[in-house]
């Protein structure tokens, strides 16, 4: 039995429509935690039994595949690593079980606001940019003053795969639990970390019951990005001070493997 099956099996289920209705959380605080799998089991076993788990087509965990696009010089990565106020992240997300796919652009403007938008795309185009997708990216990067030509240089850079379980907590907060983490980069590198779990809570300004469980276990939020932290772990020559603590604690002993 894998980790997601172990902890998700004890909860009643909630549908996607019910989840959105009860915990839409348009204004929210997101907190991310990176845990060892055995610590995750211990903490998640303490979640209140009245929590509910998202079930879609009889499945309580969903496979996600995400392709991140960047320039050959890794402009998107470097803007994030150097803390630039104007930055972007473009990814193609594939929901494997339903075969739905979206191209998502996340931008951060001069006033520190973060905007995430997405458009539908064909599921057979998740590993490349269509003409429509490139035009969509060009509009977004141009709005940041980076020049629409940046979009012409974007290419598949890093693919991440994981299994996600979503919880609706008793107080109405949401949490996602990502297991079976894997990264594949454009240069033949591969990194698989079944020993790590990413937990993300999404709540109003007040901390959720799961946040408090994690804090009591001595686990604090960390700054982690599957794209940036994963790429930094696989390519140690890149600037990575922003994620140095996470890399040192969880990734230094696990180098990427050649394909």
Residue-wise pLDDT for 73-115, tens only, equals 999 999 999 888 888 999 999 988 788 899 999 887 555 556 7
pLDDT band at 257 (very low <50, low <70, confident <90, very high): very low
Is 158 a residue whose pLDDT tops 50? yes
Quick one: which H or E segment has residue 227? helix 226-234
Token pair belonging to 85: 């106020």
Instruction: State the maximum Cα–Cα separation within the chain, in Å, rounded to a whole number.
Output: 52
Contact 122, 103 (CB under 8 A): no
* Confidence (pLDDT) at 24: 60
Q: What is the count of structural domains for the chain?
A: 1
The rounded distance, in Å, linking the Cα atoms of 201 and 114 is 18
Residue 109: per-residue pLDDT: 59
What's the average model confidence in pLDDT over 123-147?
91
Tokens at 54, concatenated: 């998202």
CATH code of the domain in which 143 resides: 2.40.320.10
Taking only Cα atoms into account, the Rg of the chain, rounded to an integer number of angstroms, comes to 18
Q: What local confidence, expressed as pLDDT, does residue 73 receive?
A: 96
Query: End-to-end distance of the chain based on CA atoms, in angstroms?
Result: 28
Q: Which domain holds residue 83?
A: 3-258
Residue, of 232 and 172, whose pLDDT is higher: 232
Tokens linked to 144: 């940041």
Distance CA 162, CA 93 (A): 12
pLDDT of residue 259 exceeding 50, the answer is: no
């Amino acid at each position: 039995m894998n980790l997601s099956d172990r902890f998700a099996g004890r909860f009643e289920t909630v549908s996607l429509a019910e989840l959105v209705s009860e915990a839409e959380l348009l204004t929210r605080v997101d907190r991310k935690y990176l845990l060892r799998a055995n610590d995750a089991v211990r903490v998640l076993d303490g979640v209140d039994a009245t929590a509910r788990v998202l079930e879609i087509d009889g499945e309580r965990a969903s496979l996600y595949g995400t392709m991140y696009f960047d320039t050959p010089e890794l402009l998107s990565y470097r803007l994030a690593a150097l803390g630039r106020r104007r930055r972007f992240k473009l990814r193609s997300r594939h929901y494997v079980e339903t075969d739905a796919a979206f191209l998502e652009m996340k931008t951060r403007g001069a006033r520190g606001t973060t905007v995430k938008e997405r458009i539908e795309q064909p599921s057979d185009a998740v590993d490349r940019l269509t003409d429509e997708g490139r035009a969509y990216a060009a509009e977004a990067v141009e709005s940041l003053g980076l020049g629409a030509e940046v979009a012409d240089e974007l290419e598949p850079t890093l693919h991440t795969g994981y299994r996600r379980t979503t919880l609706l907590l008793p107080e109405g907060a949401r949490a996602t639990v990502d297991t079976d983490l894997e990264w594949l980069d454009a240069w033949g590198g591969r990194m698989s970390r079944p020993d790590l779990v990413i937990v993300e809570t999404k709540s109003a300004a007040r901390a959720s019951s799961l946040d408090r469980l994690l804090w009591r276990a001595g686990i604090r939020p960390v700054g982690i990005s599957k794209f940036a932290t994963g790429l930094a772990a696989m390519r140690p020559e890149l600037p990575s001070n922003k994620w140095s603590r996470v890399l040192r604690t969880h990734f230094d002993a696990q180098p990427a493997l050649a394909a």
